[in-house]
Amino acid sequence: MLLHVVVIAGAVAMFFPFLWTVITSITPGATLTNAPALIPTDPSLGAYERLFEERPFGRVVLNSLALAIITTLVQLFTSSTAAYAFSRLPFRGRGVIFGVYLATMMIPLQVLIVPLFVELKTLGLLNTYLGALLPAFTSAFGIFLLRQAVNQVPKELDEAATLDGAGHFRIFAQVIIPNIRPALATLVVFSFMSSWNSFLWPLVVLRSPELQTLPIALAGLQGQYVSDWDVIMAGSVVSIIPMLALYIFAQKYIIQGVASSGIK
């Protein structure tokens, strides 16, 4: 019974900030000094109307959504194929290369900003969607996650498929992929969330207002609507909804994927 009380209290504590954000967004004239009531007396969606009328917020949401979807799909392909190679293909130096690749996870993005900027400027990709996408097309974490999942698939299945005349591409598509779906779903959520919440790199590479992503637009709201916290919170709610929906849809697979990969 005590455990249930503790769990419920923790759930309420974690859910309350989101609830407060929603309530503030539908409370006209809400401020931080005068906290809105938990049950608004005169709720209104005016903040959402202002959000989309006074700024190109619809275009901003579509920008972030497109970049997140493309990044996720490309990372699924690159991470799954690399994971299969590191797990199933015996080539010289496989362990060393994998270890070096994992070591790149310890390098923060801030260290890479300048060389990436110079490289994209040389290629003429600044202020373009491709320039914002290229650095995120591969993921060391994604390769590690999927390699752990591929290692859990019995090699006897590969051998049986080989006896039936299957090559690497068929084994990868028809044996490996169906057996690592939980890990793939986990990578989908992590990749989408990382791209959706990305702030520093889009801020550096995307200069035009029509190319802005959602985190940059939300930062701009705090400058333009410094006292209109209902508008700011409306933007926050819009930014939360896609991630919340994705997590609710894939939560079962996320738990299975993290458990099977051995990540703590």
pLDDT of residue 86: 93
The pair phi, psi for residue 153, each rounded to 5°, is -80, 125
12 or 194: which carries more pLDDT confidence?
A: 194
Question: Which percentage of the chain shows pLDDT scores above 70?
Answer: 90
Which fold would CATH assign to domain 57-261? MetI-like fold (1.10.3720)
Rounded to whole angstroms, how far apart are CA atoms 70 and 75?
A: 8
Q: Which of 104-118, 151-165, 227-241 has the lowest mean pLDDT?
A: 227-241
65-123 pLDDT, tens per residue?
999 999 999 999 999 999 999 999 888 888 899 999 889 888 888 888 999 999 999 99
Query: Do 254 and 51 form a contact (C-beta atoms < 8 A)?
Result: no
Mean of pLDDT values over 159-171:
89
Length of the chain: 264
pLDDT of residue 67: 95
pLDDT of residue 36: 63
Rounded to whole angstroms, how far apart are CA atoms 243 and 128?
A: 25
pLDDT beyond 70 at 125 = yes
228 or 134: which carries more pLDDT confidence?
A: 134
Give me the residue label for tokens 């919440």: 197
Query: Do 200 and 113 form a contact (C-beta atoms < 8 A)?
Result: yes
32 or 167: which carries more pLDDT confidence?
A: 167
Neighbours of 239 (CB within 10 A): 19
Q: What are the CA-CA distances from residue 100 to residues 61, 93, 104, 156, 182 (Å)?
A: 36, 11, 7, 29, 26
Rounded to whole angstroms, how far apart are CA atoms 176 and 59?
A: 38
| Helix, strand or coil, per DSSP, at residue 128 | coil
What predicted TM-score, i.e. pTM, was given to this entire model?
Answer: 0.86
pLDDT beyond 70 at 253 = no
> 94-103 and 140-151 are packed helices; what angle lies between their axes, rounded to 10 degrees?
140
Domain ranges, ordered by start, for the chain:
1-44, 57-261
174-201 pLDDT, tens per residue?
999 999 988 898 899 889 999 999 999 9
Mean of pLDDT values over 138-152:
92
pLDDT of residue 122: 92
Query: Do 246 and 189 form a contact (C-beta atoms < 8 A)?
Result: yes
Neighbours of 192 (CB within 10 A): 22
Tokens of 232: 């700011």
pLDDT of residue 232: 83
**Among candidate residues 81, 56, 103, 5, the one with its CA nearest the CA of residue 235:** 56
Quickly state the pLDDT bin for 225 (edges 50, 70, 90). Answer: very low
Q: What is the mean pLDDT of the chain?
A: 85
pLDDT of residue 154: 92
pLDDT of residue 65: 94
